[in-house]
Structure 1
Amino acid sequence: MAATGGVRTACVTGGNGYIASALVKMLLQRGYAVKTTVRNPDDREKNAHLMELQALGPLEILRADLDDEGSFEDAVAGCDYAFLVAAPVNLTSEDPERDQIEPSVRGTLNVMRSCARAGTVRRVVLTSAASSVCIRPLEGDGHVLDEESWSDLEWVAAEKPPSWGYVVSKVLSEKAALRFAQEHGMSLAIACPVLTVGASPVPKVYTSVPASLSLISGDEAALAMLKGIEKSFGGVPVVDLDDLCRAEVFLAEAEAASGRYICSSFDTTVVEIAQFLADKYPQYSVNIGSGELLEKPRVRLSSAKLVKQGFEFRCKTLDEVYQGVVEYGKALGILPY
């Protein structure tokens, strides 16, 4: 049965994740009853931040695994909305087909099938990534890409840019979800976030936050990731984590929401971020390293579809985005002071 007494119920898969745990927190703050899935609910250390969120409202932490067919049945049962955030991330695999692409598509369809069987889920919101949109050969600059754009998988397979398996997994998972939703008469919205930064309940972060702070933290691997984003995306598109979570809830609740939505607040460059950080945080030494960098974005990712439906981004400048992420970086020990 669906939520009773006017309380809406939402399932968020992959509750241990950076985006998912922030989304769980926001839903609870908005009065939702939430069920979230983790691979091992008995791991108290890994789930401590979720247990703390239980003080905000009704939050159930359930066991489920993307590789385990049917393991999401309990999690989506009785839910009004299902947010599919869990996804395998294996950027260093020597066999991306086996370790990233196939598990991603299989896991997405596993949860979609459970949502179809539940019979109460009014809408599924799938969290994908903007790498499904813009990884393709683009000459010159001035490009504006929207939801009609798909990354060029033939080019990706031939060129094998960094994390190419992740790109393929996102495109194929989205297309599989869209097909499944159409065949089963399900309402589906897909969020395609760009570089997502901001404070989350998770005590450890691995990708976007270290990358966004790499110019002042001295983390060379994270800086290489930031430069890699600029090279493959034709710029550095940014969205604040809070804005992304607000957008996902909006996509669940907005009656007309359907299909893909790029979630990008603004486009910048590594050089622009470095100049901003040097001015704003003179206590840190900004290290830009070497290599070819853009003076301005060659490609812009448009969130016009999302905005036209009534959504408004709150963080639209580097200043607004970095205020929260610098403090978060200090709290996590990414920044020394």
Structure 2
Amino acid sequence: MPAGAGAAVKGKTACVTGGNGYIASALVKMLLEKGYAVKTTVRNPDDMEKNSHLMELQALGPLEVLHADLDYEGSFDDALAGCDYAFLVAAPVNLTSENPEKEQIEPTVRATLNVLRSCLKAGTVRRVVLTSAASSICIAPLEGDGHVLDEHSWSDLDYVTAEKPPAWGYVISKVLAEKEAFRFAQDHGISLVVVCPVLTVGASPAPKACASVRASLSMLSGDEAALAMLKGIEKSFGAVPVIHLHDLCRAEVFLAEMATASSGRYICSSVGTTVVEIARFLAEQYPQYHVNIKQSGDDELLEKPRASLSSAKLVKEGFEFKYNTLDAIYGDVIEYGKALGILLRY
């Protein structure tokens, strides 16, 4: 095991923002299972429809659910007070806004800086782990095949602004939020790691399916809108890069605990595939769902990835992915989909 990994956590406290969400609730669960005391934030702690799964997680260890609002500076002061690590997962998402500048981009940058100011004020936070998205890396005109994108790659904001691909305001918001976060961290001596996950799938404590899970199951569920999202990812990314939720959470904790890990960005992607490859896999493994291997618009779909998002930097630090095949990745998401009513039970 690399030096600094698996550090003792007795007496350590971690804060996870947006704890009732898909990624954040899985991260809260993992931290509690590792022995951390956890403080997490939601907009309304009394809303049991959104937070009941957090109450259930309290059986695993000390979990405090606090009110905070991304729009207000100082709102996260109580949650971050006394914390050793901060996991910034919550972020504004408004993919259908008619005014992305005011309703997606500015709120995302403002929210990121608001939480970082609270981290600074706490004075105890050893490392901040900011969850961004791979869309900050790979939305750019890519000609030909064989592209390998790494942490030095940034989405081309001139291209995004001109072409306005789906959710273009979200793409810009992630790029600008990352850059402002790094500037703030450098100015104030904060140890900051940014994790850029790709399409994230897998079972979560959250009782509501996020868009990525719906997309990953779309060829089994018949959800055409979710399938369109999956095809849109392939078109924009030059592939369908996937990460299992458990591996993403493991990577975030690894990068927080690993004292020798360098600050900066880390791509989190374990499988690079295509819509066609996923269709073939699902048709073979789950014949009861009658997957249509010949997807509509096949002439535009890729037979093999044109681009790869490399997690070599993360692996070089000593991290090992546990879910690095489609079979492993889809193992629990099928049952999760059934439990949430997305998939029929056969």
2:291 to 286, 291, 294: 286
Runs of 4+ in 1 over 2 A off after TM superposition: none
1:336 to partner: Cα distance: 1.2
1:306 aligns with 2:314: yes
1:95 to 95, 99, 104: 99
Deviations 1:105-141 (A, max 9, x none): 0000000000001000000000000000000001001
Whole-angstrom distance in 1 between the partners of 2:206 and 2:157: 33
Which residue is 2:219 aligned to?
215
Helix, strand or coil: the match of 1:239?
Answer: strand
1:289 to partner: Cα distance: 3.7
1:334 aligns with 2:342: yes
1:248 to partner: Cα distance: 0.2
1:294 to partner: Cα distance: 0.3
Deviations 1:74-119 (A, max 9, x none): 0000000000000011111111111110000000000000000100
Helix, strand or coil: the match of 2:291?
Answer: coil
Helix, strand or coil: the match of 1:117?
Answer: helix
Which residue is 1:256 aligned to?
260
Aligned length: 334
Which residue is 2:3 aligned to?
none
1:9 to 10, 13, 23: 13
Helix, strand or coil: the match of 2:288?
Answer: coil
Which residue is 1:115 aligned to?
119
Q: Which amino acid letter does the alignment assign opposite residue 157 of structure 2?
A: L
Which residue is 1:125 aligned to?
129
Helix, strand or coil: the match of 2:283?
Answer: helix
Whole-angstrom distance in 1 between the partners of 2:212 and 2:258: 28
Whole-angstrom distance in 2 between the partners of 1:205 and 1:38: 18
Deviations 1:277-331 (A, max 9, x none): 0000010011354121000000000000000000000000000001111010000
1:148 aligns with 2:152: yes
2:280 to 265, 275, 281: 275
Q: Which amino acid letter does the alignment assign opposite residue 324 of structure 1?
A: D
1:49 to partner: Cα distance: 0.3
Considering only aligned residues, what root-mean-square deviation do their CA atoms show, in Å?
1.1
Preserved contact between residue 276 and residue 295 of structure 2 (Cα < 8 Å): no
Which residue is 2:6 aligned to?
none
Deviations 1:235-291 (A, max 9, x none): 000000000000000010111221000000010000000000000001001135412
- Under a length normalisation based on structure 2, what TM-score does the superposition of the two structures give? 0.95
Q: Which amino acid letter does the alignment assign opposite residue 207 of structure 2?
A: P
Q: Which amino acid letter does the alignment assign opposite residue 87 of structure 1?
A: A
Q: Which amino acid letter does the alignment assign opposite residue 267 of structure 1?
A: G
Q: Which moved more, 1:23-32 or 1:198-207?
A: 198-207
1:79 aligns with 2:103: no
Whole-angstrom distance in 2 between the partners of 1:42 and 1:322: 34
Alignment of 1:12-51 (within 5 A): 12-51=16-55
Q: Which moved more, 1:20-29 or 1:252-261?
A: 252-261
1:206 to partner: Cα distance: 2.8
Helix, strand or coil: the match of 2:10?
Answer: coil
Whole-angstrom distance in 2 between the partners of 1:24 and 1:68: 23
- Under a length normalisation based on structure 1, what TM-score does the superposition of the two structures give? 0.98
5+ residue gaps, structure 2: 1-8
Q: Which moved more, 1:112-121 or 1:284-293?
A: 284-293
5+ residue gaps, structure 1: none
Alignment of 1:58-77 (within 5 A): 58-77=62-81
1:297 to 294, 305, 311: 305
Preserved contact between residue 10 and residue 35 of structure 2 (Cα < 8 Å): no
